Amino acid sequence: MIGKSTTQAPNAGASERQPSWQELALCAQTGAGFFFPEPGSSVREAKQICLACEGRTACLEYALENDERFGVWGGLSEKERDRLRRGTGRRSGNRA
């Protein structure tokens, strides 16, 4: 999810480079309310938008690398990202 305070890069030279995941993100075309819902509200609509987004993987990587604590990023809620960070979100039977 592109944060509320994130600014878009100018399109100058856009034909010379590949667009960034932020420029391709479907969340940039919808309201932030989907991705930053009030406590107790559903994140289902945000997750559905994320599932169709080309930038979903890069968005999730960004959120994890930058310790984003709020909102839906890369199709995961705050709790889901927290579990992933702590390694409790894995479903595989592999153990160290």
Query: Does 59 belong to an annotated binding site?
Result: yes
Query: Does 56 belong to an annotated binding site?
Result: no
Query: Does 50 belong to an annotated binding site?
Result: yes
Question: How many residues are given for the chain?
Answer: 96
What distance in Å separates the CA atoms of residue 59 and residue 57, rounded to the nearest whole number? 5
Residue 65: C-alpha distances to residues 26, 58, 59, 81 (Å): 21, 10, 10, 11
Query: Does 76 belong to an annotated binding site?
Result: no
Annotated binding site: 27, 50, 53, 59
Annotated binding site for [4Fe-4S] cluster: 27, 50, 53, 59
